[in-house]
Chain A
Amino acid sequence: GENVEQHPSTLSVQEGDSAVIKCTYSDSASNYFPWYKQELGKRPQLIIDIRSNVGEKKDQRIAVTLNKTAKHFSLHITETQPEDSAVYFCAALYNAGNMLTFGGGTRLMVKP
C-alpha cells in the first residue's frame, strides 16, 4: 500500500515568517494530494489540494508544490499568522482512487 512520510512533526515560527512542511509518498500511481488543517479539538478541513498533472498551486498565502519524479510534495505558508497554528496533514490518494493515506501530521505553532 501507500506510505506517506511527513516532516517535521513540529514546527515553530515567528509571526510573519514562512513555514514549509514536506511529505514523501511511495506509490508512483498516486494522483491526488490534499492538505488538511486540524485546529485543536476540531475536525480536519481541506485547505488546498493538487493533482498529479500540476506542479504548483497557490491560494493566497498557501501554496503546494509537487515533484512526481522524486515523489514528494510540500506545503508553503507565507506571512504566517497566529491563527495558522494547528496540525497540518498531507495525504496521497492511491488504489484507483479508493484510499486516501495520511501523513503523521505537523504541529505548527506561530508565535506572535
Chain B
Amino acid sequence: NAGVTQTPKFQVLKTGQSMTLQCAQDMNHNSMYWYRQDPGMGLRLIYYSASEGTTDKGEVPNGYNVSRLNKREFSLRLESAAPSQTSVYFCASSEIRGETEAFFGQGTRLTVV
C-alpha cells in the first residue's frame, strides 16, 4: 500500500517552461489536494478536487491548472513557470472532503531559475 505517490521528487525549470506534477493515491479516497509550502509559511492550498470530476480553486490558484484524471490521479500543471513558484509542492488525499485525515505525498521540490 503506497498511499500517495508524487512524481518527480525534484525539478529545476527555467522561467517560462511548463511542467506537470503527477499525483496518484491507492486508498480509494474521494478528495485530493495540491498544496505549496514556502519557507516559514504553512501549507497553502492551490487547488482541490472534492470528488472525481470536480475541481475548485484554493487560496493561491494563479499560475496553475489541475486535472482530476480519474479517482486515483490528480495532476498539477504550471503553464509558464515563474521564480515565485519555487516551492515544495505536496499532494494530499482524504476519504471525505476535508473532514478526515489528509494523507500527504512525499513532496516535489521545484526550483524555477
Contact = CB atoms under 8 A, between A and B. Distances in A.
A43 B101 contact: no
Interface size class of A (residues with CB under 8 A): 20 to 34
A57 B44 CA distance: 26
A32 B41 CA distance: 21
Interface of A: 1, 4, 6, 9, 32, 34, 42-46, 49, 89, 93, 96-105
A44 B44 contact: no
B97 A97 contact: yes
B79 interface: no
Contact of A98 (B42, B48, B105): B48
Interface residues of B, number: 24
A104 B50 CA distance: 24
Given A34-B101, A46-B102, A98-B97, A89 B42 contact: yes
A98 B98 contact: yes
A6 B40 CA distance: 12
Interface of B: 33, 35, 40-45, 48, 50, 56, 58-59, 90, 96-99, 101-102, 104-107
**What 3 A-B pairs come out closest when comparing CB atoms?**
A102-B42, A97-B97, A43-B104
Contacts of B102: 34, 46, 100
Given A32-B99, A93-B98, A98-B48, 9 more contacts: A4-B42, A42-B106, A44-B90, A96-B97, A98-B56, A98-B97, A100-B33, A101-B45, A103-B42
Contacts of B107: 43
A44 B101 contact: no
B98 A105 contact: no
A1 B56 CA distance: 14
B41 A104 contact: yes
Contacts of B43: 44, 89, 102
A103 B105 CA distance: 19
Nearest to B41: A104
Contacts of B96: 97
